[in-house]
Structure 1
Amino acid sequence: MTQSVVVQVGQCGNQVGCRFWDLALREHAHVNKKGLYDEALSSFFRNVDSRKSAGGACGVGGRIQHLKARAVLVDMEEGVVKEILQGPLREVFDSAQLLTDVSGSGNNWAVGHMTYGSAYREQIVDKLRKAAEHCDCLQCFFLIHSMGGGTGSGLGTSVLSLLEEEFPDVCRIVTSIYPSAEDDVITSPYNSILAMRELTEHADCVLPVENQSLVDIVNKIKIMSHSAKPGSVIKRDSTVISGQGGLSGPEKPFDAMNNIVANLLLNITSSARFEGSLNMDLNEIAMNLVPFPRLHYLVPSLTPLYTLADVSVPTRRLDYGKYNKMTHIYALDQRNVCIKIHIKVKF
């Protein structure tokens, strides 16, 4: 199978990215009961054994020793990265994957793109190359960033141009978090407009996500959980409210919003992380859905919403006493095996 590298830039990008790794680990742990390092895990994780030389990389088929995410974390404020290194995902990353500063970009696109983009160019390229060297068949770069902040919009688009320059043949899929109309950062429209131009020029595919839409989804899920319908209760370990995105400390108001974006990325990458006759490579997304090179903004969506909250919806049962005819259809399952499906038909 092919491999992909996730590049997380800025506070929002790192929080969403770490929640993605949290969900991915839970999903693979649920599927991979034997603890083997298979091809599904190799698409986004490395298996490292410290007892071996040359980086301690282990091949596919052996036991899981120590999983490392194929990721590069960049932020000009070290607060979020420090929280990650103190949280439950601290063993998934190492110092070679991190790049931080202490001053921040001051919510200014020009500072992130011009100042830090030039100052940290060589270090960013070096970390991207090291991440690519660990891949047998590098297929895609996933860039996660916000459009309203200075580091996410400015340095994030600078990293995107570096990816095009250093790896022109590798697909670049960007997940951009757009600010809402009531954003408290006064420079967010300025940052978003300048970042949009860079996304149009250098990205292969952009998945825009708006903050206000995330707020509406969270509110709908809360209304659903507090409805009078029996069984409509959000489970404690659901996608929306659990884990705090791999961070330590109490849950913050925007954690639920970040979890929705991470769940979106988890679903998009499932075809690359697992085998199946209906699955496809990630570069086929841009190949099939982008009619013109610059027209590559795709609108993502999630449905139904109760699956995000893992709501205990009562099962729907049919009254078989009203049906008196049996028919059947033939279909193919994921292994291309013909199966027979029986259906009760009412006359």
Structure 2
Amino acid sequence: MPPSTRSGGDSPDIYKGKICSLKARALLIDMEEGVVNEILQGPLRDVFDSKQLITDVSGSGNNCTFHIFRAVGHKLYGCRYRENIVEKLRKTAEHCDCLQCFFIIHSMGGGTGSGLGTFVLNLLEDEFPEVYRFVTSVYPSGEDDVITSPYNSVLAMRELNEHADCVLPIENESLFDIVNKIHQMTSSGKLGSTVKQNSLVTSSANSTKAVQEKPFDAMNNIVANLLLNLTSSARFEGSLNMDLNEISMNLVPFPRLHYLVSSLTPLYTLADVNVPSRKLDQMFSDAFSRDHQLIQADPKHSLYLACALLVRGNVQVSDLRRNIERLKPSLHFVSWNQEGWKTGLCSVPPVGHSHSLLALANNTCVKPTFIELKDRFMKLYKKKAHLHHYLHIDGMEQSCFAEAVSSLSDLIEEYNELDATKNEPRTDPPRLKIAV
């Protein structure tokens, strides 16, 4: 998303009905033409360069046969479009004045998102090895309509473990719950008396049924605002700006444990809702409550390896320090990183708010998400259900599944080992002894 044309903030939907000369530094890839065509015909059509789109006429389809990870997305389409993808990536990178990192946004359950998405991740490591790779991965819910999504997700997890620098996991179920809660609050008047017509906050302000069934715009809006807050320091001035690369350097003490739990406050973003701003201290408390997490997790009762607070608006360094000291007693940090906080202050708030907060936590609370994903995978794998859809493609063998679930099991075990140290007393690091 390019910088805002408004002074005082940014918004994923500020370009509606406007002609914008800015172009997103983005490459859009989807093996189904339909989604990309919607973008080309929608309100953001002037933001994206039509030459930076890659689609396939046949598409991934909406059936089990084509919603398969390596067999089509990774092995087939990846090899077929490799040169085209590399060329467009290079053109996009050359237009950047200061290339800090790559953002990959993809789904885990479908064929293109999991397979081709992680194929692009591998390409970036090969072609731009010195540039950090941030991945926003949308994990499917247990009621996902793609029956092979556990296979796709576990196979993709192996690639994320090995080739990503930071992963921001997001769960569809969590986004759905957040959207429904916001809709209930707006319907009851708790968020104020005025909600913009056709607001992305509620997806459809006049239809409860639409929100319950397909609140995709509202769910995507939350993810968009996650990225807007994450990149705010690169786009606006601030007294304590945070370089994107500092997130990986400060929040990832072990290479494989690079999954960062994100929470946003306020969740009803931008000028969609006319409501007084939350009190500053309450905003910090909200960021650590489970209702504001973008995955189904409760980090407050799990173990922190490190935490970053990215604040926007009229907030002082003293406000940050006061709230960190206030919250620290209720948070469990690993004994060797009790002061593992990274902070950033951007002076420009989002449109419609005086301040906002994005919290990124390297926390063991991601473990239940991975355990549930593994359990769903094993239910299919033990029965060898649908494996033939994958194994008939050249280069795809059953050992790929065994290696993928082994990689996920190792990751879970690493989190288990950390959790086992949760109740250990804090020990000061050994002092250097100087021989006399």
Q: Would the TM-score normalized by the shorter structure come out above 0.5?
A: yes
Partner deviation per Cα, 1:125-166 (whole Å, 9 max, x = no partner): 000011111123211100000000000000000000000000
**Counterpart position of 2:67:** 107
Change (3 A) 1:207 1:229: closer
1:264 aligned onto 2:219:
no
User: How does 1:71-220 map onto structure 2 within 5 Å?
Assistant: 71-105=26-60, 106-110=66-70, 111-220=72-181
Question: Offset of 1:305 from its aligned partner?
Answer: 3.1
The one-letter amino acid of 2:140's match is P
Say whether the 8 Å CA contact 1:176–1:208 is kept in structure 2. yes
1:299 aligned onto 2:261:
yes
CA distance in 2, matches of 1:147, 1:266: 22
Partner deviation per Cα, 1:172-196 (whole Å, 9 max, x = no partner): 0000000001111101111000000
Identify the match of residue 217 of structure 2 among 255, 258, 262.
Answer: 255
Identify the match of residue 7 of structure 2 among 10, 27, 31.
Answer: 31
CA distance in 2, matches of 1:153, 1:123: 19
Q: Secondary structure at the match of 1:175?
A: strand
Question: Offset of 1:256 from its aligned partner?
Answer: 1.1
CA distance in 1, matches of 2:228, 2:139: 19
Change (3 A) 1:228 1:190: same
Q: How many residues align?
A: 264
The one-letter amino acid of 2:85's match is I
Question: Offset of 1:104 from its aligned partner?
Answer: 2.2
Higher RCO (CA < 8 A, seq sep 6+): 1
1:288 aligned onto 2:243:
no
CA distance in 2, matches of 1:203, 1:182: 27
Q: Secondary structure at the match of 1:119?
A: helix
Question: Offset of 1:168 from its aligned partner?
Answer: 0.4
Question: What is the Cα-based RMSD across aligned positions, in Å?
Answer: 3.1
CA distance in 2, matches of 1:256, 1:130: 32
Question: Offset of 1:316 from its aligned partner?
Answer: 9.3
Question: Offset of 1:235 from its aligned partner?
Answer: 3.0
CA distance in 2, matches of 1:65, 1:316: 32
Q: Secondary structure at the match of 1:291?
A: coil
CA distance in 2, matches of 1:290, 1:177: 20
Contiguous gaps of at least 5 residues in structure 2: 11-18, 61-65, 205-212, 280-315, 320-344, 348-436
**Counterpart position of 2:401:** none
Question: Offset of 1:95 from its aligned partner?
Answer: 3.3
CA distance in 1, matches of 2:73, 2:31: 8
Say whether the 8 Å CA contact 1:224–1:232 is kept in structure 2. no
Q: Secondary structure at the match of 1:217?
A: helix
Q: Secondary structure at the match of 1:279?
A: coil
Partner deviation per Cα, 1:39-97 (whole Å, 9 max, x = no partner): x9xxxxxxxxxxxxxxxxxxxxxxx9832111111111111111111112222223321
CA distance in 1, matches of 2:278, 2:50: 51
Question: Offset of 1:231 from its aligned partner?
Answer: 2.8
Runs of 4+ residues deviating >6 angstroms: 330-336
Question: Offset of 1:234 from its aligned partner?
Answer: 3.0
Q: Secondary structure at the match of 1:68?
A: coil
Say whether the 8 Å CA contact 2:122–2:163 is kept in structure 1. yes
The one-letter amino acid of 1:154's match is G
Question: Offset of 1:198 from its aligned partner?
Answer: 0.2
Change (3 A) 1:254 1:195: same
Q: Secondary structure at the match of 1:91?
A: coil
CA distance in 2, matches of 1:116, 1:96: 19
**Counterpart position of 1:18:** none
**Counterpart position of 1:67:** 22
